């Protein structure tokens, strides 16, 4: 068996190539929308992609399964489980629990593993040339290293009311079946640390069934009530764009649109876009604070870049990147993976913008020491933009919780005459939030530059709980 794992850091996502050298046949599992990486891998290893599949209808990225199957002539095998609301809307070979298909000498056995989603599948692989015993399982968003897939996305992202608890029960039943697998089977998950598809995923890219049985909390908890409570508690807010991904991946929309690299914008073109586009400045937060185009949002080129754009972007609004060409092309591809096709272009030289007579605006910063004095004097309104679970573990005295991903729905609640100080763990998320608020007319916003960690390091007091 020839096996290759692909990793996409912006999404913390794994996809796979499984191939049989004896026959030259290959299968791709959970491909991203930009399919060139899989075509190149097949070419390098002299394989022909004959099968394309995925574990479930993804919420965090646009699937490349349909496009890859059309490009290669491969058979497209997708779940027919989950009931009528979770059937794919385009032609494919349906897979159900217990089905078996072959990729050369490799046997692929289908396990229906609902819980994260109703139609979710896992694939148990055996190699006839290596004895035929199960060798590995591709678990998608079912079992991760150290965690399991969240069951609440149907309710929180897709709007399926009152589904979180039933899906948690389904996940528990799937885990009961998982315990029957042999301990030495390798486990290859669909995501790693940083994905919004779970809350405490491990960074290690592979595990074994036996190791997860011994160490994964979800495989230790026997009591159903405590299992459901712990599973649902403290899950991060799903990015707003997840709902669109579910719809587009199920129906096949946008699957075949090619990637078009962002074009360089002239000064005149950028001027004309100011009133209609979302300008995303990917520079370091310090450089952004020192001077940026009014109305732009600071989303730095860090691992969660695409997730934050998806949280704050309206897909109908054109997007402009403030970035050099090489970075703009790389980030444009990252955004293409979540269906952002409306990129108007990029602009790199803000000094040129300034020298052409355009003003830059600044984003005020405050240190923990100064903020401590201001809080004591009741001079500021403090907003914590971390996740709710982080807030409850500890926050600044008197701070209000407003997770950054909820800002599009909640920012208008910030009715205060005092300066608004926003903070997160280190100042990155709060720079996003502060610039978003600034864009929406809250001019007296200030970023805590050293974040909650700086506040702790300085020894200032904190509070716990929901308020």
Structural domains of the chain sorted by starting position, each given as residue range(s) with its CATH number in brackets: 2-251 (3.60.15.10), 267-355 (3.40.250.10), 364-457 (3.40.250.10)
Query: For residues 218 and 149, is the Cβ–Cβ distance under 8 A?
Result: no
Helices (H), 54-102: 65-72
How many other CB atoms sit within 10 Å of the CB of residue 293? 20
Q: What are the pLDDT digits (tens) for 286-322?
A: 999 999 999 999 999 998 899 999 999 889 999 999 9
Mapping DSSP onto H, E and C, the string for 423-466 reads ECCCCHHHHHHHHHHHHCCCCCEEEECCHHHHHHHCCCCCECCC
454 pLDDT exceeds 90?
A: yes
- Give the integer Cα–Cα distance in Å for 451 and 448: 5
Q: What are the pLDDT digits (tens) for 94-116?
A: 999 999 999 999 999 999 999 99
Least confident range of 236-245, 288-297, 380-389, 439-448: 236-245
Dihedrals phi, psi of 373, to nearest 5 degrees: -65, -40
Confidence of residue 467 (pLDDT cuts 50, 70, 90): low
32 or 128, which is more confident:
32
Least confident range of 59-73, 198-212, 322-336: 198-212
272 pLDDT exceeds 90?
A: yes
158 pLDDT exceeds 80?
A: no
Q: What are the pLDDT digits (tens) for 43-87?
A: 999 999 999 999 999 999 999 999 999 999 999 999 999 999 899
Query: For residues 466 and 401, is the Cβ–Cβ distance under 8 A?
Result: yes
Q: What is the pLDDT of residue 465?
A: 82
**Mean pLDDT, to the nearest integer, of 458-467?**
88
- Give the integer Cα–Cα distance in Å for 366 and 388: 23
The DSSP secondary structure of 169-221, one letter per residue, reads HHHHHHHHHHTTS-TT-EEEESB-TT-TTSSS--S-S-EEHHHHHHH-GGGT-
Q: What percent of the chain has pLDDT over 70?
A: 100
234 pLDDT exceeds 90?
A: no
Q: What is the pLDDT of residue 426?
A: 94
Question: How buried is 63 (Cβ within 10 angstroms: 0-12 exposed, 13-18 middle, 19+ buried)?
Answer: buried
Length of the chain: 467
Q: What is the pLDDT of residue 421?
A: 98
How many other CB atoms sit within 10 Å of the CB of residue 316? 6
Residue with tokens 């300008």, as numbered in its chain: 279
Q: What are the pLDDT digits (tens) for 410-448?
A: 999 998 899 999 999 999 999 999 999 999 999 999 999
Report CA Rg, the chain: 24
Residue closest to 17 by CA, chosen among 104, 81, 147 = 104
Q: What percent of the chain has pLDDT over 90?
A: 88
**Mean pLDDT, to the nearest integer, of 216-241?**
92
324 or 256, which is more confident:
324
464, two tokens: 């716990």
236 pLDDT exceeds 90?
A: no
Q: What is the pLDDT of residue 196?
A: 82
Least confident range of 149-158, 296-305, 307-316, 400-409: 149-158
The DSSP secondary structure of 341-383, one letter per residue, reads --EEEEE--HHHHHHTT---B--EEE-HHHHHHHHHTT--EEE
Average pLDDT, rounded, for the chain: 95
Q: Region of 95 please: left (phi>0), alpha (psi -120 to 50) or beta.
A: beta
Query: For residues 332 and 325, is the Cβ–Cβ distance under 8 A?
Result: no
Q: What is the pLDDT of residue 129?
A: 84
* pTM of the complete model: 0.94
């Amino acid at each position: 068996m020839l096996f290759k794992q692909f990793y996409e850091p912006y999404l913390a996502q794994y996809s796979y190539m499984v191939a049989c050298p004896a026959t030259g046949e290959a299968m791709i599992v959970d491909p991203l929308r930009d399919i060139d990486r899989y075509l190149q891998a097949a070419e390098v290893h002299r394989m022909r992609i004959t099968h394309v599949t995925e574990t479930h209808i993804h919420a965090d990225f646009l699937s490349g399964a349909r496009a890859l199957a059309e490009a290669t002539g491969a058979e497209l095998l997708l779940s027919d489980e989950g009931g009528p609301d979770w059937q794919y809307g385009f032609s494919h070979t349906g897979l159900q629990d217990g089905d078996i298909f072959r990729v050369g000498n490799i046997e692929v056995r289908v396990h229906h593993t609902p819980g994260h989603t109703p139609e979710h599948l896992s694939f148990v692989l055996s190699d006839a040339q290596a004895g035929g015993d199960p060798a590995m399982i591709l678990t998608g968003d079912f079992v991760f290293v150290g965690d399991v897939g969240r069951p609440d996305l149907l309710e929180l992202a897709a709007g399926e009311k009152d589904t979180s608890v039933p899906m948690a029960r389904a996940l528990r039943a799937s885990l009961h079946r998982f315990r029957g697998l042999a301990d030495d089977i390798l486990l290859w998950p669909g995501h790693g640390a940083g994905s919004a598809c779970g809350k405490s995923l491990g960074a290690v890219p592979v595990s074994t069934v036996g190791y997860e049985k011994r160490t994964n909390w979800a495989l230790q908890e026997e009591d159903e009530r405590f299992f459901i409570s712990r599973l649902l508690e403290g899950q991060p807010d799903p990015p707003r764009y997840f709902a669109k991904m579910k719809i587009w991946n199920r129906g096949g929309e946008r699957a075949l649109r090619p990637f078009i690299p962002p074009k360089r914008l002239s000064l005149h073109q950028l001027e004309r876009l100011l009133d209609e586009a979302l300008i995303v400045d990917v520079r370091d937060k310090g450089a952004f604070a020192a001077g940026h185009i009014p109305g732009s949002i600071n989303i730095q080129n860090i691992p969660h870049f695409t997730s934050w754009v998806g949280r704050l972007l309206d897909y109908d609004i054109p997007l402009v990147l403030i970035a050099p060409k090489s970075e703009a092309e790389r980030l444009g591809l990252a955004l293409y993976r979540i269906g952002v096709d409306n990129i108007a272009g990029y602009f790199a030289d803000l000094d040129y913008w300034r020298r052409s007579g355009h003003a830059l605006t600044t984003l005020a910063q405050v240190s923990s020491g100064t903020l401590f004095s201001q809080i004591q004097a009741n001079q500021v309104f403090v907003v914590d933009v971390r996740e709710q679970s982080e807030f409850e573990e500890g926050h600044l005295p008197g701070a209000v919780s407003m997770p950054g991903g909820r800002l599009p729905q909640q920012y208008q609640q910030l009715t205060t005459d005092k300066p608004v100080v926003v903070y997160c763990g280190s100042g990155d998320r709060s720079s996003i939030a502060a610039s978003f608020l600034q864009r929406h007319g809250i001019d007296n916003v200030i970023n805590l530059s050293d974040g909650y960690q700086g506040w702790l390091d300085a020894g200032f007091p904190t509070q716990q709980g929901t308020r």
